[in-house]
Every structure is written in C-alpha cells, then in structure tokens.
Amino acid sequence: MDSNIKRIGVLTSGGDAPGMNAAIRAVVRAGVFYEKEVYGISRGYDGLINDEIKKLEVRSVGNILERGGTFLKSARSMDFKTPEGRKKAYENLQKRGIDALVTIGGDGTFTGANLFFQEYGIKVIGVPGTIDNDLSGTDYTIGFDTACNTAIEAIDKIRDTATSHDRLFFIEVMGRDAGFIAVNAGIGSGAVATLIPEREMTTEQLIARLNKGFKNRKLSNIVIVAEGGKSGGAIEVADKVREHFPNYDIKVTILGHLQRGGKPSSFDRLLASRLGVAAVEGLINGHSGMMAGIINQKVVYTPLESAINNTKVVDEEEFRVAKILSI
C-alpha cells in the first residue's frame, strides 16, 4: 500500500481513441474518491514538458463520458524522446508535487512512460487506449470496440451500393501493424476475404477466393484490407486484382480517421471506467511501471515492457471463422 501518493497526473498520448474521456473521468473520480489530488496534463507528453497542467475536480470531468476524442487533447511527442525533454517533464512534476502518473494510450505512450519510470523512478500506470487492440496484457484496448462498430456501419453502407452495381470493393481499415480491426470488421461485415499483416494471402490465393465467390453467385464482394498488410494497402491490392479482372468494376474506400472518432460504445465506456479506477487503485496499492488491463473479465497488471514487446496475436479461431463464412 503506497499511501504516500498525494497528487496524480493524468494524460492521453498518441492516437486518440473513443473512450479516452471515460478513462480520464474514471481516473479523476477514483483519485478524488481516495482523497488524492488529480492534475490533467494537456497534449500528452508535450504538455508535461511545456507545463500545461491544471488541477481537475470531480465536476471538471462531468459530461465527458459519452464524448469521443480526448478533452485533454493528445500528441505524439518528439521532445519526450530526448533526455532533455524528459528532464524538463520531471522538473515540472517535481515543481507541482505530482508523485504519480496515469498515461492513457498505446505502445508509443507506454514506451515513453516506461523510460520515464526507469530514469526517474516516477510511479506510473498505463491504461491501454488505442483502437488497434495491439497491446499484450489486456483482452481489449479502449476504443477498439467502437472503432470496429464504426467500421462495420460504414462497410454495411458500402455493401448497399456494391450490391446495386455488382461491384467489388476493397476497404482499408486502420490497425497499424495489427489485423484486429480487420478481422473483426471482416467477420462482422461478411467480407469475402480479409487481408491482415499477420497472415500472408498471395494475389493468386485472393483471385482464387474471388473466383469461387463469383461461381457461387455471391451478391456482392467486399474485401477488407488492413492498412499494414504485407501486400500493401487497399489501393495496391486492388490494382493487382484489377489486372486479373479487367472487366470488373473495382472500387477502393479507405475508412481512415473516421474509425477514431464518435461516441464510445457501451463496451468501451465500461472498459475505460474499470481501467481508470484500476489505474488509481494500482498506484495506491504500490504498482508501478505497469499497465492495467482486463483479462477474462478480471483486472490484471502487466509490466509496461511486456505490454509493448509481447506480440498479441490475432485469434486463430476468429480467422478460421472468417474463412469458413466467406464461401
């Protein structure tokens, strides 16, 4: 039990994710509940370096639970990657007597948090907030569920027009180097094929899959392409396929940042609320240099290093289901 903690700083960093606001709210309210002062740091690590820090009260985080984005704003800080930047950040924390940090974000955020923890011994807990779902030590990251719902809703609309015109669509989804959004969207939207970075699908295999679909009189064809795919993004894959089907009308849609916005789903609000409280309780109970995650419905603390470095794999079972259902 670390009852010495008096002031907790909270920041969001890296790509924003729906549910980050719910997580900030949970950190602030749990902090106040346990009689700590909580400070909001704007613009991620840049705000820590530039001293953009202000005290948050219970009411400062009213009416944000349901909002997308992050009211603290976010950034991918280059300065925090330098020893000088981190020194400045440490001095600002010292100056304000902030003795612990909750950092909400993805692997870049945790890499920075871990360095800071190792260099300065700052007590820090990470909360996984990224649409990519690519962190080990948690079944889901905050924002993933909402992003998948957004993607599926958009793809449903594309299917309407694809069916009307007998067109083949290649739809690119986000996920950086991971295929979690793609597999989820592929199953949820009934895609004929899903291309992900973790699994190679050659152009020949894709052509064979599409030909089978044509033979089976598929009504419309949607191929989901993860942005980090081995054969390139949706534009590159569509170009290769076009060579084999010169008479077929092929279109490309890149969903892009659409997937990052919008109101968080019920799942993400619950996850963010649980993890925000878990982060504060973790700090109070003496955890540091860890990420709070949820595995099999239970809160688990995993070293930041493992959360970033242990590769989380796309579920084999889900990939198999996607293939079976694409016939």
**Which residues here bind ligand F6P, judged by CB under 6 A?**
15, 106, 130-132, 174-176, 227, 260
Within 17-137, strands assigned E span 37-41, 53-56, 100-105, 123-128
* Closest separation in Å from C-beta 322 to ligand F6P: 20
Nearest alpha carbon to residue 71 among 27, 7, 109: 27
* Closest separation in Å from C-beta 317 to ligand F6P: 23
* Contact (Cβ atoms closer than 8 angstroms) between residue 221 and residue 233: no
Q: How many residues does the chain have?
A: 327
Positive/negative CA dihedral, 243, 249, 254, 255: negative
- CA 65, 66, 69, 72: dihedral to nearest 10 degrees? -30
Nearer to ligand F6P, 15 or 264 (CB): 15
Nearer to ligand F6P, 142 or 162 (CB): 142
Nearer to ligand F6P, 106 or 282 (CB): 106
* Closest separation in Å from C-beta 255 to ligand F6P: 10
Which residue among the candidates 132, 134, 145, 268 is catalytic per the annotation? Answer: 132
* Closest separation in Å from C-beta 259 to ligand F6P: 7
Residue where the block lists tokens 């001095």: 91
Q: How far is CA 217 from CA 67, 210, 212, in A?
A: 43, 11, 9
Residue 199 phi/psi, 5-degree rounding, is: -135, 130
Positive/negative CA dihedral, 293, 298, 299, 302: negative
Nearer to ligand F6P, 106 or 264 (CB): 106
* Closest separation in Å from C-beta 261 to ligand F6P: 11
* Closest separation in Å from C-beta 105 to ligand F6P: 9
Nearer to ligand F6P, 54 or 257 (CB): 257
Is 128 buried (19+), middle (13-18) or exposed (0-12) by CB count in 10 A?
buried
Q: How far is CA 55 from CA 7, 87, 194, 253, 309, in A?
A: 10, 22, 46, 43, 33
* Contact (Cβ atoms closer than 8 angstroms) between residue 213 and residue 160: no
Residue where the block lists tokens 């992050």: 70
* Closest separation in Å from C-beta 117 to ligand F6P: 22
CA distance 92 to 53: 9
Tell me if residue 132 is catalytic: yes
Nearer to ligand F6P, 159 or 176 (CB): 176
* Contact (Cβ atoms closer than 8 angstroms) between residue 161 and residue 195: no
Nearer to ligand F6P, 260 or 269 (CB): 260
- Catalytic site positions: 132
